[in-house]
């Protein structure tokens, strides 16, 4: 009788482990890079199903993670951000010390993602740093293989879905300034981009409903020319190719640079200003009949400064643009409820684009970094990832 009881207990325990391993554990792998986290199954149901008798089984505990559900436009929201790169580990700490300073938590970083990149160890490290440093990523896709974009898009959607993201929303910006041939493989082709954007949205959403899809921000200040197309003409032709394409977006990515010469006043208005997103939203609503209210993610912006490897006197000094950035945040972006994030370009870039850098080649911050760091910030409260556990095997 005792042997039969032991055998029955063992069978029940093995059955529980098999079922948990098949249906429960894969959903809640802790930073393994292979788990796809959704809302947890009912713990009560599991216990009732496997441990309803009064016999005592081997006790164990399963640790898992889940996301809070606070909606897509949760508040409070820390809008401060910075454009960084996954390859340099130090950039994450430098960004954290900027965007989460002076009361801030859960600021943003934009990170470009090469569509050929399948380095699991690297991206496990990236997402681990994002979680530990309370940074919300906006992943910007780049380096598309247009000849096999469907297969590549499907692979990337699955690859990025393997990782544990720091918050429920998984922000994806679909490429960069496609109305400029320099950023779209030597040509300007709005019909092609519309098809690729449509396929990318559908593929990512099918893979995980938490993907939050943004357009590739346009070069809004570019005029019609040999290698560029006016952004509004480009958007119009996209909508003609795929009617309603912009209504499929979850948010609007924008590059409102202070023109001309990346040196305009923060008080300027219109397409050549840091408020250029206003004109884009007006065009979507009034000309393309997109009535959806799209939150704005400023994925590039900023002033060029004179300091760099070679001094460029056509730009303002870092002291001058430090004041401009402070004014831009206080008088424009922080006051505008439509703006969710501002990630200026860039933490550090090689010459000749080092004039946009926020730190120098020795990773020492410029004055505008320090000025923005000193600004008061929100303690962001996004639908972040939380730990939990379920015990099984106890006596009932």
DSSP-derived letter for residue 309 is S
CATH number at residue 244: 3.20.20.80
Residues 90, 65: one domain?
Answer: no
What digits encode the pLDDT tens for the residues 104-160? 999 999 999 999 999 999 999 999 999 999 999 999 999 999 999 999 999 999 999
Domain contains 74: no
Domain contains 198: yes
Answer whether residue 337 shows pLDDT above 70: yes
Residues 117, 52: one domain?
Answer: no
Residues 132, 187: one domain?
Answer: yes
Provide CB contacts within 8 A for 131, sequence distance 6+. Answer: 31, 164, 166, 385
Residues 11, 160: one domain?
Answer: no
Domain residues for 322? 81-374
Domain contains 75: no
Contact in structure between 20 and 390 (CB atoms under 8 Å) = no
Q: Where are the alpha helices (DSSP H) in the chain?
A: 2-19, 43-50, 90-99, 120-132, 149-160, 190-207, 231-241, 276-286, 318-328, 367-374
Domain contains 98: yes
Residues 226, 248: one domain?
Answer: yes
R_g (Cα) of the chain, nearest Å: 24
C-alpha span between 95 and 344 (Å, rounded): 11
Domain contains 152: yes
Range scoring the smallest mean pLDDT among 10-24, 198-212, 263-277: 10-24
Domain contains 76: no
Q: How confident is the model at residue 388 (pLDDT cuts 50, 70, 90)?
A: confident
Q: How confident is the model at residue 10 (pLDDT cuts 50, 70, 90)?
A: very low
Answer whether residue 385 shows pLDDT above 50: yes
> For all residues of the chain together, what is the average pLDDT?
88
Domain contains 131: yes
Record the pTM: 0.86
Residues 151, 21: one domain?
Answer: no
Residues 99, 240: one domain?
Answer: yes
Answer whether residue 50 shows pLDDT above 50: no
Answer whether residue 242 shows pLDDT above 80: yes
Q: How confident is the model at residue 54 (pLDDT cuts 50, 70, 90)?
A: low
Residues 202, 118: one domain?
Answer: yes
Residues 55, 95: one domain?
Answer: no
> How does DSSP assign 114-166, residue by residue?
ETT---HHHHHHHHHHHHHTTEEEEEEEE---GGGHHHHHHHHHHHHTTS--S
Domain contains 134: yes
What digits encode the pLDDT tens for the residues 266-290? 999 999 999 999 999 999 999 999 9
**Domain total of the chain:** 2
Residues 98, 22: one domain?
Answer: no
- pLDDT at residue 395, rounded to an integer: 54
Residues 164, 304: one domain?
Answer: yes
Q: How confident is the model at residue 59 (pLDDT cuts 50, 70, 90)?
A: low
What's the average model confidence in pLDDT over 351-368? 97
What's the average model confidence in pLDDT over 255-274? 97
Residues 218, 352: one domain?
Answer: yes
- pLDDT at residue 392, rounded to an integer: 65
């Amino acid at each position: 009788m005792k042997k039969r009881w032991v055998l029955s207990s063992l069978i029940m325990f093995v059955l529980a482990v098999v079922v948990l391993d098949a249906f429960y554990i894969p959903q809640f792998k802790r930073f393994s890079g292979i788990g796809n986290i959704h809302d947890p199954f009912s713990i009560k149901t599991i216990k009732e199903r496997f441990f309803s008798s009064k016999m005592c089984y081997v006790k164990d505990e399963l640790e898992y993670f889940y996301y809070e559900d606070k909606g897509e436009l949760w508040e409070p929201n820390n809008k401060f951000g910075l454009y960084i790169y996954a390859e340099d580990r130090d950039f994450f700490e430098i960004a954290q010390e900027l965007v989460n300073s002076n009361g801030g938590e859960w600021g943003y970083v934009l990170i470009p993602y090469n569509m050929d990149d399948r380095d699991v160890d690297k991206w496990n490290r990236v997402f681990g740093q994002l979680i530990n440093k309370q940074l919300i990523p906006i992943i910007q896709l780049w380096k598309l293989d247009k000849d096999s974009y469907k297969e590549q898009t499907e692979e990337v959607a699955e690859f990025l879905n393997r990782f544990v993201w720091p918050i429920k929303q998984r922000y994806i910006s679909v490429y960069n300034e496609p109305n400029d041939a320099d950023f779209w493989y030597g040509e300007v082709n709005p019909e092609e981009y519309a098809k690729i954007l449509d396929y990318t949205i559908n593929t990512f959403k099918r893979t995980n409903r938490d993907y939050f899809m943004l357009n590739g921000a346009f070069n809004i200040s570019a005029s019609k020319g040999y290698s560029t197309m006016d952004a509004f003409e480009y958007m119009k032709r996209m909508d003609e190719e795929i009617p309603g394409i912009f209504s499929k977006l979850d948010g609007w990515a924008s590059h409102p640079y202070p023109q001309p010469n990346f040196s305009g006043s923060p008080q300027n208005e219109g397409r050549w200003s840091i408020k250029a997103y206003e004109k884009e939203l007006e065009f979507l609503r009034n000309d393309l009949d997109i009535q959806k209210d799209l939150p704005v993610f400023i994925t590039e912006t900023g002033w060029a400064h004179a300091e760099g490897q070679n001094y460029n006197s056509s730009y303002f000094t870092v002291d001058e643009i430090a004041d401009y950035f402070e004014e831009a945040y206080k008088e424009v972006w922080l006051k505008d409820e439509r703006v969710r994030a501002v990630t200026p370009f860039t933490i550090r870039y090689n010459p000749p684009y080092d004039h946009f850098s926020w730190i120098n080649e020795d990773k020492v911050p410029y004055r505008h970094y320090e000025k923005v760091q000193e600004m008061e910030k929100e303690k962001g409260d996004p639908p972040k990832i939380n730990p939990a556990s379920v015990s099984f095997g106890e006596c009932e």
